[in-house]
A and B are shown apart, each in its own frame.
Chain A
Protein backbone atom coordinates (compact mmCIF):
# COMPACT_ATOMS: atom_id res chain seq x y z
CA UNK A 1 0.00 0.00 0.00
CA UNK A 2 2.86 2.41 0.65
CA UNK A 3 5.18 1.47 -2.21
CA UNK A 4 3.46 3.44 -4.92
CA UNK A 5 3.40 6.58 -2.80
CA UNK A 6 7.14 7.04 -2.45
CA UNK A 7 7.87 8.47 -5.89
CA UNK A 8 5.24 11.19 -5.43
CA UNK A 9 6.39 12.24 -1.99
CA UNK A 10 10.06 12.03 -2.94
CA UNK A 11 9.48 14.46 -5.75
CA UNK A 12 7.66 16.78 -3.39
CA UNK A 13 10.44 16.76 -0.81
CA UNK A 14 12.97 17.57 -3.50
CA UNK A 15 10.74 20.35 -4.75
CA UNK A 16 10.57 21.90 -1.28
CA UNK A 17 14.33 21.90 -1.08
CA UNK A 18 14.59 23.74 -4.35
CA UNK A 19 11.90 26.23 -3.44
CA UNK A 20 13.54 26.97 -0.11
CA UNK A 21 16.73 27.97 -1.86
CA UNK A 22 15.00 30.25 -4.37
CA UNK A 23 16.08 33.57 -2.83
CA UNK A 24 19.65 32.66 -3.70
CA UNK A 25 18.89 31.08 -7.04
CA UNK A 26 16.38 33.40 -8.65
CA UNK A 27 15.10 36.94 -8.78
CA UNK A 28 12.39 38.61 -6.77
CA UNK A 29 9.68 37.72 -9.27
CA UNK A 30 10.26 34.00 -8.76
CA UNK A 31 10.36 34.51 -5.02
CA UNK A 32 7.08 36.34 -5.17
CA UNK A 33 5.55 33.59 -7.27
CA UNK A 34 6.83 30.93 -4.90
CA UNK A 35 5.55 32.96 -1.94
CA UNK A 36 2.01 32.76 -3.30
CA UNK A 37 2.46 29.10 -4.05
CA UNK A 38 3.64 28.34 -0.54
CA UNK A 39 0.81 30.32 0.98
CA UNK A 40 -1.92 28.52 -0.93
CA UNK A 41 -0.22 25.20 -0.35
CA UNK A 42 -0.09 25.76 3.41
CA UNK A 43 -3.71 26.85 3.53
CA UNK A 44 -5.03 24.01 1.42
CA UNK A 45 -2.99 21.25 3.07
CA UNK A 46 -4.43 22.32 6.40
CA UNK A 47 -7.90 22.35 4.92
CA UNK A 48 -7.46 18.85 3.51
CA UNK A 49 -6.33 17.62 6.92
CA UNK A 50 -9.83 18.25 8.17
CA UNK A 51 -12.25 18.67 5.30
CA UNK A 52 -10.56 16.33 2.87
CA UNK A 53 -10.31 13.49 5.36
CA UNK A 54 -13.61 13.87 7.21
CA UNK A 55 -15.69 15.04 4.28
CA UNK A 56 -17.00 17.99 6.29
CA UNK A 57 -16.40 20.67 3.72
CA UNK A 58 -15.52 23.95 5.37
CA UNK A 59 -16.33 26.91 3.18
CA UNK A 60 -15.27 29.39 5.83
CA UNK A 61 -11.61 28.66 6.34
CA UNK A 62 -10.77 32.26 5.50
CA UNK A 63 -11.94 33.07 9.01
CA UNK A 64 -8.82 31.45 10.46
CA UNK A 65 -6.58 33.27 8.04
CA UNK A 66 -8.26 36.54 8.92
CA UNK A 67 -8.18 35.84 12.64
CA UNK A 68 -4.44 35.18 12.49
CA UNK A 69 -3.93 38.38 10.56
CA UNK A 70 -5.98 40.33 13.10
CA UNK A 71 -4.00 38.88 16.00
CA UNK A 72 -0.79 40.06 14.36
CA UNK A 73 -2.27 43.50 13.81
CA UNK A 74 -3.43 43.79 17.41
CA UNK A 75 -0.09 42.54 18.74
CA UNK A 76 1.94 44.90 16.60
CA UNK A 77 4.19 47.01 18.68
CA UNK A 78 3.55 45.13 21.89
CA UNK A 79 4.83 41.63 21.15
CA UNK A 80 7.68 40.49 18.98
CA UNK A 81 6.61 39.30 15.52
CA UNK A 82 8.25 35.98 16.10
CA UNK A 83 6.03 35.38 19.10
CA UNK A 84 2.93 36.77 17.47
CA UNK A 85 3.01 34.26 14.64
CA UNK A 86 2.61 31.14 16.77
CA UNK A 87 0.18 33.06 18.97
CA UNK A 88 -1.93 33.71 15.89
CA UNK A 89 -1.91 29.99 15.20
CA UNK A 90 -2.96 29.09 18.72
CA UNK A 91 -5.77 31.62 18.76
CA UNK A 92 -7.00 30.41 15.38
CA UNK A 93 -6.99 26.87 16.75
CA UNK A 94 -8.95 28.03 19.77
CA UNK A 95 -11.43 29.77 17.51
CA UNK A 96 -11.89 26.52 15.64
CA UNK A 97 -12.64 24.64 18.84
CA UNK A 98 -15.18 27.30 19.76
CA UNK A 99 -16.85 27.29 16.35
CA UNK A 100 -16.61 23.53 16.12
CA UNK A 101 -18.80 23.06 19.12
CA UNK A 102 -22.01 24.20 17.40
CA UNK A 103 -20.92 23.50 13.83
CA UNK A 104 -19.75 19.93 13.98
CA UNK A 105 -23.14 18.62 14.96
CA UNK A 106 -24.52 19.62 11.62
CA UNK A 107 -23.75 17.53 8.59
CA UNK A 108 -23.33 17.64 4.87
CA UNK A 109 -24.32 20.75 2.96
CA UNK A 110 -25.56 22.38 6.17
CA UNK A 111 -22.08 22.32 7.61
CA UNK A 112 -20.85 23.99 4.45
CA UNK A 113 -23.25 26.92 4.60
CA UNK A 114 -22.91 27.18 8.34
CA UNK A 115 -19.13 27.58 8.14
CA UNK A 116 -19.60 30.09 5.36
CA UNK A 117 -22.18 32.02 7.34
CA UNK A 118 -20.04 32.08 10.47
CA UNK A 119 -17.02 33.29 8.54
CA UNK A 120 -19.07 36.10 7.06
CA UNK A 121 -20.56 36.96 10.43
CA UNK A 122 -17.14 37.20 12.05
CA UNK A 123 -15.92 39.26 9.12
CA UNK A 124 -18.65 41.84 9.62
CA UNK A 125 -18.15 41.81 13.37
CA UNK A 126 -14.48 42.64 12.90
CA UNK A 127 -15.41 45.35 10.39
CA UNK A 128 -17.68 46.88 12.98
CA UNK A 129 -15.12 46.57 15.75
CA UNK A 130 -12.56 48.29 13.59
CA UNK A 131 -14.91 51.11 12.70
CA UNK A 132 -15.82 51.52 16.36
CA UNK A 133 -12.10 51.79 17.05
CA UNK A 134 -11.91 54.37 14.33
CA UNK A 135 -9.77 52.23 12.07
CA UNK A 136 -10.63 51.45 8.48
CA UNK A 137 -7.46 49.75 7.52
CA UNK A 138 -4.23 49.28 9.29
CA UNK A 139 -0.64 49.47 8.34
CA UNK A 140 1.93 47.20 9.89
CA UNK A 141 5.45 48.52 9.44
CA UNK A 142 8.80 47.31 10.53
CA UNK A 143 8.29 43.61 10.08
CA UNK A 144 10.89 41.14 8.85
CA UNK A 145 12.03 41.33 5.26
CA UNK A 146 10.54 39.41 2.36
CA UNK A 147 13.24 36.76 2.28
CA UNK A 148 12.82 35.94 5.95
CA UNK A 149 9.05 35.83 5.64
CA UNK A 150 9.46 33.67 2.58
CA UNK A 151 11.38 31.08 4.54
CA UNK A 152 8.76 31.13 7.26
CA UNK A 153 6.08 30.54 4.65
CA UNK A 154 8.03 27.70 3.07
CA UNK A 155 8.35 26.23 6.54
CA UNK A 156 4.60 26.52 7.16
CA UNK A 157 3.82 24.90 3.82
CA UNK A 158 6.26 22.09 4.54
CA UNK A 159 4.81 21.49 8.00
CA UNK A 160 1.26 21.53 6.68
CA UNK A 161 2.15 19.07 3.94
CA UNK A 162 3.94 16.84 6.40
CA UNK A 163 1.00 16.95 8.80
CA UNK A 164 -1.45 15.91 6.13
CA UNK A 165 0.87 13.20 4.85
CA UNK A 166 1.53 11.72 8.26
CA UNK A 167 -1.99 11.97 9.63
CA UNK A 168 -3.49 10.40 6.58
CA UNK A 169 -1.40 7.31 7.12
CA UNK A 170 -1.84 7.18 10.86
CA UNK A 171 -4.41 5.61 13.10
CA UNK A 172 -6.12 8.99 13.38
CA UNK A 173 -6.29 9.15 9.61
CA UNK A 174 -8.10 5.85 9.45
CA UNK A 175 -10.58 7.14 12.01
CA UNK A 176 -11.15 10.42 10.17
CA UNK A 177 -11.68 8.68 6.87
CA UNK A 178 -14.07 6.24 8.47
CA UNK A 179 -16.05 9.25 9.64
CA UNK A 180 -16.14 10.48 6.06
CA UNK A 181 -17.30 7.17 4.66
CA UNK A 182 -19.98 6.47 7.22
CA UNK A 183 -20.09 8.42 10.44
CA UNK A 184 -22.68 6.30 12.22
CA UNK A 185 -20.92 3.04 11.45
CA UNK A 186 -17.63 4.59 12.57
CA UNK A 187 -19.10 5.59 15.89
CA UNK A 188 -20.69 2.18 16.36
CA UNK A 189 -17.34 0.53 15.80
CA UNK A 190 -15.71 2.73 18.37
CA UNK A 191 -14.42 5.94 16.84
CA UNK A 192 -15.04 8.91 19.17
CA UNK A 193 -16.37 10.94 16.31
CA UNK A 194 -17.07 14.17 18.17
CA UNK A 195 -13.57 14.36 19.59
CA UNK A 196 -11.85 13.42 16.35
CA UNK A 197 -13.78 16.00 14.37
CA UNK A 198 -13.11 18.73 16.90
CA UNK A 199 -9.38 18.08 17.06
CA UNK A 200 -9.00 17.78 13.32
CA UNK A 201 -10.91 21.02 12.87
CA UNK A 202 -8.70 22.80 15.38
CA UNK A 203 -5.55 21.34 13.85
CA UNK A 204 -6.66 22.56 10.44
CA UNK A 205 -6.96 26.12 11.72
CA UNK A 206 -3.54 26.60 13.29
CA UNK A 207 -1.43 26.93 10.17
CA UNK A 208 -3.93 29.16 8.36
CA UNK A 209 -3.80 31.41 11.41
CA UNK A 210 -0.04 31.65 11.17
CA UNK A 211 -0.22 32.13 7.42
CA UNK A 212 -2.57 35.05 7.96
CA UNK A 213 -0.15 36.60 10.42
CA UNK A 214 2.76 36.24 8.02
CA UNK A 215 0.78 37.69 5.11
CA UNK A 216 -0.09 40.80 7.09
CA UNK A 217 3.62 41.33 7.63
CA UNK A 218 4.30 40.73 3.97
CA UNK A 219 1.71 43.18 2.65
CA UNK A 220 2.11 45.52 5.66
CA UNK A 221 -1.60 46.15 5.30
CA UNK A 222 -4.74 44.87 7.01
CA UNK A 223 -8.30 45.48 5.97
CA UNK A 224 -10.97 43.21 7.39
CA UNK A 225 -13.10 42.80 4.26
CA UNK A 226 -10.03 41.58 2.45
CA UNK A 227 -8.48 39.54 5.25
CA UNK A 228 -11.70 37.62 5.82
CA UNK A 229 -12.68 37.52 2.17
CA UNK A 230 -14.81 34.56 1.10
CA UNK A 231 -12.76 34.43 -2.09
CA UNK A 232 -9.96 32.97 0.02
CA UNK A 233 -12.25 30.20 1.24
CA UNK A 234 -13.50 29.60 -2.27
CA UNK A 235 -9.96 29.41 -3.64
CA UNK A 236 -8.85 26.93 -1.00
CA UNK A 237 -11.78 24.66 -1.76
CA UNK A 238 -11.18 24.97 -5.50
CA UNK A 239 -7.53 24.05 -5.13
CA UNK A 240 -8.47 21.01 -3.09
CA UNK A 241 -11.16 19.84 -5.47
CA UNK A 242 -9.03 20.40 -8.55
CA UNK A 243 -5.83 18.99 -7.12
CA UNK A 244 -7.40 16.29 -5.03
CA UNK A 245 -8.54 16.37 -1.42
CA UNK A 246 -7.65 12.92 -0.18
CA UNK A 247 -3.91 13.11 0.36
CA UNK A 248 -0.90 15.40 0.53
CA UNK A 249 0.06 15.48 -3.16
CA UNK A 250 -3.38 16.82 -4.13
CA UNK A 251 -2.97 20.39 -2.87
CA UNK A 252 0.47 20.50 -4.45
CA UNK A 253 -0.98 19.91 -7.90
CA UNK A 254 -3.85 22.24 -7.23
CA UNK A 255 -1.84 25.10 -5.77
CA UNK A 256 0.69 24.98 -8.58
CA UNK A 257 -2.05 25.10 -11.17
CA UNK A 258 -3.86 27.90 -9.43
CA UNK A 259 -0.89 30.17 -8.93
CA UNK A 260 0.12 29.76 -12.58
CA UNK A 261 -3.45 30.58 -13.63
CA UNK A 262 -3.41 33.57 -11.32
CA UNK A 263 -0.15 34.84 -12.74
CA UNK A 264 -1.54 34.60 -16.23
CA UNK A 265 -4.94 36.14 -15.68
CA UNK A 266 -5.43 37.99 -12.44
CA UNK A 267 -3.71 41.23 -13.30
CA UNK A 268 -5.60 41.93 -16.49
CA UNK A 269 -8.66 39.74 -16.55
CA UNK A 270 -9.70 39.05 -12.97
CA UNK A 271 -13.26 38.15 -13.87
CA UNK A 272 -12.09 35.67 -16.47
CA UNK A 273 -9.85 34.11 -13.85
CA UNK A 274 -12.80 33.71 -11.48
CA UNK A 275 -15.01 32.36 -14.24
CA UNK A 276 -12.43 29.74 -15.17
CA UNK A 277 -12.02 28.78 -11.54
CA UNK A 278 -15.78 28.47 -11.18
CA UNK A 279 -16.03 26.35 -14.31
CA UNK A 280 -13.23 24.09 -13.13
CA UNK A 281 -14.91 23.68 -9.75
CA UNK A 282 -18.17 22.72 -11.43
CA UNK A 283 -16.42 20.32 -13.78
CA UNK A 284 -14.41 18.59 -11.09
CA UNK A 285 -17.29 18.35 -8.64
CA UNK A 286 -19.48 16.72 -11.24
CA UNK A 287 -17.07 14.46 -13.03
CA UNK A 288 -13.82 14.17 -11.17
CA UNK A 289 -14.27 14.80 -7.46
CA UNK A 290 -10.98 13.12 -6.60
CA UNK A 291 -9.09 15.72 -8.57
CA UNK A 292 -5.75 15.45 -10.33
CA UNK A 293 -4.31 13.35 -7.54
CA UNK A 294 -7.20 10.96 -8.11
CA UNK A 295 -6.15 10.60 -11.74
CA UNK A 296 -2.54 9.95 -10.71
CA UNK A 297 -3.61 7.33 -8.21
CA UNK A 298 -5.85 5.55 -10.69
CA UNK A 299 -3.01 5.49 -13.15
CA UNK A 300 -0.62 4.13 -10.51
CA UNK A 301 -2.99 1.42 -9.36
CA UNK A 302 -3.60 0.38 -12.93
CA UNK A 303 -7.27 1.11 -12.67
CA UNK A 304 -8.07 -1.45 -10.03
CA UNK A 305 -11.46 -0.87 -8.49
Chain B
Protein backbone atom coordinates (compact mmCIF):
# COMPACT_ATOMS: atom_id res chain seq x y z
CA UNK B 1 0.00 0.00 0.00
CA UNK B 2 1.32 3.43 -0.92
CA UNK B 3 1.80 5.99 1.83
CA UNK B 4 3.45 8.86 0.00
CA UNK B 5 3.24 9.66 -3.67
CA UNK B 6 5.27 12.26 -5.51
CA UNK B 7 3.81 13.03 -8.93
CA UNK B 8 5.69 15.00 -11.58
CA UNK B 9 7.01 17.51 -9.09
CA UNK B 10 9.09 20.40 -10.34
CA UNK B 11 10.73 23.19 -8.37
CA UNK B 12 12.68 26.12 -9.74
CA UNK B 13 14.79 28.68 -7.94
CA UNK B 14 15.16 31.53 -10.34
CA UNK B 15 16.87 30.03 -13.37
CA UNK B 16 17.88 26.80 -11.66
CA UNK B 17 15.63 23.75 -11.89
CA UNK B 18 16.29 22.05 -8.58
CA UNK B 19 13.70 19.31 -8.98
CA UNK B 20 12.72 18.31 -12.49
CA UNK B 21 9.52 16.36 -13.06
CA UNK B 22 10.23 13.83 -10.33
CA UNK B 23 7.85 10.98 -9.60
CA UNK B 24 8.17 8.14 -7.13
CA UNK B 25 6.17 6.52 -4.40
CA UNK B 26 6.87 5.09 -0.99
CA UNK B 27 5.00 2.10 0.39
CA UNK B 28 3.84 1.75 3.98
CA UNK B 29 6.62 0.41 6.19
CA UNK B 30 9.25 0.79 3.49
CA UNK B 31 12.76 2.13 3.94
CA UNK B 32 13.55 4.02 0.75
CA UNK B 33 16.96 5.40 -0.11
CA UNK B 34 17.39 8.67 -1.97
CA UNK B 35 20.72 9.04 -3.65
CA UNK B 36 22.44 11.63 -5.79
CA UNK B 37 25.37 13.98 -6.11
CA UNK B 38 25.37 17.32 -4.35
CA UNK B 39 22.86 19.57 -6.00
CA UNK B 40 20.89 16.66 -7.40
CA UNK B 41 17.78 17.89 -5.65
CA UNK B 42 17.48 15.49 -2.71
CA UNK B 43 17.20 18.00 0.11
CA UNK B 44 14.91 20.17 -1.97
CA UNK B 45 12.69 17.14 -2.42
CA UNK B 46 12.53 16.74 1.35
CA UNK B 47 11.71 20.42 1.74
CA UNK B 48 8.89 20.07 -0.75
CA UNK B 49 7.43 17.07 1.05
CA UNK B 50 7.73 18.67 4.50
CA UNK B 51 6.17 21.89 3.33
CA UNK B 52 9.16 24.19 3.73
CA UNK B 53 8.91 24.85 0.00
CA UNK B 54 6.02 24.71 -2.47
CA UNK B 55 6.36 22.82 -5.75
CA UNK B 56 5.96 24.85 -8.91
CA UNK B 57 4.38 21.91 -10.69
CA UNK B 58 3.07 18.48 -9.80
CA UNK B 59 1.56 17.11 -6.63
CA UNK B 60 2.49 15.33 -3.44
CA UNK B 61 -0.01 13.02 -1.77
CA UNK B 62 -0.02 11.47 1.67
CA UNK B 63 -2.48 8.62 2.04
CA UNK B 64 -4.04 9.80 -1.19
CA UNK B 65 -4.57 13.34 0.14
CA UNK B 66 -2.72 16.21 -1.56
CA UNK B 67 -0.41 17.95 0.89
CA UNK B 68 1.73 20.11 -1.37
CA UNK B 69 1.43 23.77 -0.53
CA UNK B 70 0.29 23.17 3.04
CA UNK B 71 2.06 24.88 5.92
CA UNK B 72 4.88 22.86 7.46
CA UNK B 73 3.27 22.69 10.87
CA UNK B 74 0.08 21.28 9.40
CA UNK B 75 1.98 18.70 7.37
CA UNK B 76 3.82 17.75 10.55
CA UNK B 77 0.55 17.15 12.31
CA UNK B 78 -0.50 14.83 9.52
CA UNK B 79 2.40 12.59 10.36
CA UNK B 80 5.42 13.69 8.34
CA UNK B 81 8.65 14.40 10.20
CA UNK B 82 12.05 15.47 9.10
CA UNK B 83 15.55 15.33 10.55
CA UNK B 84 17.50 18.15 8.92
CA UNK B 85 20.80 17.73 7.21
CA UNK B 86 22.31 20.65 9.04
CA UNK B 87 21.08 19.88 12.49
CA UNK B 88 18.88 22.51 14.05
CA UNK B 89 18.62 21.87 17.72
CA UNK B 90 16.96 24.41 19.93
CA UNK B 91 20.32 25.39 21.32
CA UNK B 92 19.21 27.28 24.39
CA UNK B 93 16.85 24.55 25.51
CA UNK B 94 17.71 21.25 27.15
CA UNK B 95 17.73 17.95 25.28
CA UNK B 96 14.57 17.03 27.12
CA UNK B 97 12.83 20.27 26.18
CA UNK B 98 13.88 19.82 22.56
CA UNK B 99 12.16 16.47 22.36
CA UNK B 100 9.16 17.78 24.28
CA UNK B 101 8.56 20.29 21.50
CA UNK B 102 7.99 17.35 19.22
CA UNK B 103 5.58 15.70 21.66
CA UNK B 104 3.63 18.88 22.29
CA UNK B 105 3.33 20.16 18.76
CA UNK B 106 3.67 17.13 16.53
CA UNK B 107 0.95 14.82 15.35
CA UNK B 108 -0.14 13.98 18.88
CA UNK B 109 -0.56 17.63 19.92
CA UNK B 110 -0.11 16.62 23.54
CA UNK B 111 -1.56 19.23 25.88
CA UNK B 112 -0.01 18.19 29.15
CA UNK B 113 3.62 19.12 29.71
CA UNK B 114 3.96 16.39 32.33
CA UNK B 115 2.91 13.63 29.95
CA UNK B 116 5.01 15.14 27.19
CA UNK B 117 8.00 15.15 29.48
CA UNK B 118 7.54 11.49 30.37
CA UNK B 119 7.17 10.41 26.76
CA UNK B 120 10.14 12.55 25.78
CA UNK B 121 12.29 10.79 28.34
CA UNK B 122 11.31 7.45 26.81
CA UNK B 123 12.32 8.52 23.34
CA UNK B 124 15.55 10.00 24.62
CA UNK B 125 16.24 6.58 26.10
CA UNK B 126 15.56 4.93 22.75
CA UNK B 127 18.17 7.04 21.00
CA UNK B 128 20.65 6.58 23.80
CA UNK B 129 20.80 10.14 25.15
CA UNK B 130 19.33 9.52 28.62
CA UNK B 131 22.37 10.72 30.48
CA UNK B 132 22.29 14.07 28.64
CA UNK B 133 18.57 14.74 29.03
CA UNK B 134 18.92 17.87 31.12
CA UNK B 135 21.92 19.36 29.37
CA UNK B 136 21.68 22.22 26.92
CA UNK B 137 21.34 20.97 23.38
CA UNK B 138 24.34 22.91 22.15
CA UNK B 139 26.60 21.05 24.58
CA UNK B 140 26.18 17.80 22.64
CA UNK B 141 28.72 16.43 20.19
CA UNK B 142 27.72 16.24 16.53
CA UNK B 143 26.72 12.59 16.87
CA UNK B 144 24.63 13.50 19.89
CA UNK B 145 22.92 16.31 18.04
CA UNK B 146 22.05 14.01 15.19
CA UNK B 147 20.45 11.61 17.65
CA UNK B 148 18.60 14.53 19.18
CA UNK B 149 17.39 15.54 15.75
CA UNK B 150 16.02 12.06 15.21
CA UNK B 151 14.53 11.91 18.71
CA UNK B 152 12.76 15.20 18.15
CA UNK B 153 11.40 14.01 14.82
CA UNK B 154 10.19 10.78 16.45
CA UNK B 155 8.46 12.70 19.21
CA UNK B 156 6.09 14.14 16.64
CA UNK B 157 4.74 10.63 16.24
CA UNK B 158 5.25 10.37 12.53
CA UNK B 159 4.04 7.80 10.09
CA UNK B 160 6.61 9.05 7.62
CA UNK B 161 10.14 10.00 8.62
CA UNK B 162 12.72 11.72 6.42
CA UNK B 163 16.36 11.41 7.46
CA UNK B 164 18.67 13.82 5.66
CA UNK B 165 22.31 12.72 5.76
CA UNK B 166 22.22 11.85 9.44
CA UNK B 167 25.43 9.85 9.07
CA UNK B 168 27.53 12.72 7.79
CA UNK B 169 30.44 13.47 10.04
CA UNK B 170 30.11 10.33 12.15
CA UNK B 171 32.93 7.87 12.81
CA UNK B 172 32.48 4.31 11.47
CA UNK B 173 31.53 3.09 14.95
CA UNK B 174 28.97 5.85 15.31
CA UNK B 175 27.62 5.02 11.86
CA UNK B 176 27.16 1.36 12.76
CA UNK B 177 25.36 2.35 15.96
CA UNK B 178 23.14 4.77 14.06
CA UNK B 179 22.22 2.14 11.46
CA UNK B 180 21.25 -0.33 14.20
CA UNK B 181 19.23 2.36 15.92
CA UNK B 182 17.36 3.29 12.75
CA UNK B 183 16.52 -0.34 12.03
CA UNK B 184 15.23 -0.85 15.53
CA UNK B 185 13.17 2.34 15.57
CA UNK B 186 11.65 1.58 12.22
CA UNK B 187 10.50 -1.89 13.12
CA UNK B 188 9.31 -1.01 16.63
CA UNK B 189 7.27 1.95 15.49
CA UNK B 190 6.16 0.71 12.12
CA UNK B 191 7.61 3.73 10.40
CA UNK B 192 7.98 4.51 6.74
CA UNK B 193 11.42 6.01 6.23
CA UNK B 194 13.15 7.83 3.40
CA UNK B 195 16.88 8.26 3.82
CA UNK B 196 19.25 10.58 2.01
CA UNK B 197 22.82 9.44 2.36
CA UNK B 198 26.21 9.90 0.84
CA UNK B 199 27.70 7.04 2.81
CA UNK B 200 26.97 4.40 0.18
CA UNK B 201 27.47 1.40 2.41
CA UNK B 202 24.71 2.61 4.70
CA UNK B 203 22.27 3.10 1.87
CA UNK B 204 22.96 -0.29 0.35
CA UNK B 205 22.71 -1.90 3.75
CA UNK B 206 19.54 -0.29 5.05
CA UNK B 207 17.39 0.22 1.97
CA UNK B 208 15.77 -2.52 -0.08
CA UNK B 209 14.97 0.09 -2.71
CA UNK B 210 16.79 3.20 -3.88
CA UNK B 211 15.85 6.16 -6.06
CA UNK B 212 18.72 7.96 -7.76
CA UNK B 213 18.39 11.66 -8.56
CA UNK B 214 20.64 13.51 -10.99
CA UNK B 215 20.43 17.19 -11.93
CA UNK B 216 16.99 17.31 -10.38
CA UNK B 217 15.50 14.37 -12.27
CA UNK B 218 15.07 10.66 -11.54
CA UNK B 219 17.96 8.77 -13.07
CA UNK B 220 17.18 5.25 -11.90
CA UNK B 221 15.21 3.25 -9.39
CA UNK B 222 15.69 -0.23 -8.02
CA UNK B 223 17.37 -2.54 -5.53
CA UNK B 224 20.90 -1.78 -4.38
CA UNK B 225 22.22 -4.50 -6.64
CA UNK B 226 20.34 -3.16 -9.63
CA UNK B 227 21.46 0.41 -8.96
CA UNK B 228 25.09 -0.46 -8.56
CA UNK B 229 25.04 -2.18 -11.92
CA UNK B 230 22.95 0.40 -13.74
CA UNK B 231 25.02 1.89 -16.57
CA UNK B 232 23.48 5.32 -16.23
CA UNK B 233 24.24 5.45 -12.52
CA UNK B 234 27.81 4.29 -13.04
CA UNK B 235 28.27 6.91 -15.71
CA UNK B 236 26.95 9.62 -13.47
CA UNK B 237 29.05 8.56 -10.52
CA UNK B 238 32.14 7.11 -12.12
CA UNK B 239 32.42 4.20 -9.78
CA UNK B 240 30.82 5.42 -6.57
CA UNK B 241 28.35 2.52 -6.68
CA UNK B 242 30.98 -0.07 -5.94
CA UNK B 243 33.00 1.12 -2.99
CA UNK B 244 31.78 2.92 0.10
CA UNK B 245 32.75 6.52 0.29
CA UNK B 246 34.99 7.34 3.23
* In the complex with contacts A190-B106, A191-B105, A180-B88 CB distance below 8 A: no
Interface stretch, picked from A24-32, A58-66, A171-179, is A171-179
Given contacts A174-B100, A174-B113, A305-B136, contact A188 B73 (CB under 8 A): yes
Contact (Cβ within 8 A) B113 A169: yes
* Sample of 28 A–B contacts (CB below 8 Å): A1-B134, A169-B113, A170-B113, A171-B110, A174-B97, A174-B101, A174-B113, A177-B92, A177-B93, A178-B90, A178-B93, A178-B105, A181-B93, A182-B88, A182-B89, A184-B88, A186-B105, A188-B51, A188-B73, A189-B73, A189-B76, A189-B81, A189-B106, A190-B73, A190-B102, A190-B106, A304-B134, A304-B135
Residues of A within 8 A of B (CB): 1, 169-171, 174-175, 177-178, 180-182, 184-193, 304-305
The 4 lowest CB-CB distance pairs between A and B, nearest first, are A181-B90, A190-B105, A190-B76, A185-B88
A residues within 8 A CB of B153? 189
Known A177-B90, A181-B93; contact A188-B134, beta-carbon cutoff 8 A: no
Query: How distant is A55 from chain B, measured CB to nearest CB, in Å?
Result: 9
Q: Is the CB of A190 within 8 A of B156?
A: yes
A171 cross-chain contacts in B, Cβ below 8 A: 104, 110-113, 116
| Least CB distance, A161 to chain B, in whole angstroms | 20
Q: Is the CB of B82 within 8 A of A188?
A: yes
Hey, what's the 0/1 contact readout for B145-156 against A, CB within 8 Å counting as 1?
A: 000000011001
The answer to whether A191 touches B73 (Cβ under 8 A) is yes
B52 within 8 A of A: yes
- Please report the C-alpha to C-alpha distance between residue A178 and residue B98 in the assembled complex, in whole angstroms: 8
Q: Is the CB of A178 within 8 A of B101?
A: yes
| A180 CA to B92 CA, complexed, in Å | 9
From A186, A188, A193, give the contact of B52 (CB < 8 A). A188
Contact assessment for A189 and B105 in the assembled complex, using a CB-CB cutoff below 8 Å: yes
CB of B73 within 8 A of CB of A193, answer yes
Which of B73, B77, B94, B110 has the most A CB atoms < 10 Å from its CB? B73
Q: A residues within 8 A CB of B71? A: 187, 192
B84 and A181: CB pair below 8 A? no
Q: Are B73 and A187 in contact (CB under 8 A)?
A: yes
| B89 smallest CB distance to A (angstroms) | 8
Q: Which of B52-87 contact A (CB under 8 A)?
A: 52, 71-73, 76-77, 81-82, 84
| A193 vs B72: C-alpha distance when bound (angstroms) | 10
Rounded to whole Å, the gap between the CB of B18 and the closest CB of chain A is 18
**Which residues of the partner chain B approach A187 to less than 8 Å between Cβ atoms?**
71-73
Q: Which residues of A contact B124 (CB under 8 A)?
A: none
Q: Which residue of B lies closest to A178 (CB)?
A: B101
Measured in the bound complex, the distance between the Cα atoms of B53 and A184 in whole Å is 12
Given A174-B100, A189-B76, A304-B135; 4 other pairs, CB 8 A cutoff: A177-B97, A182-B91, A187-B73, A190-B73
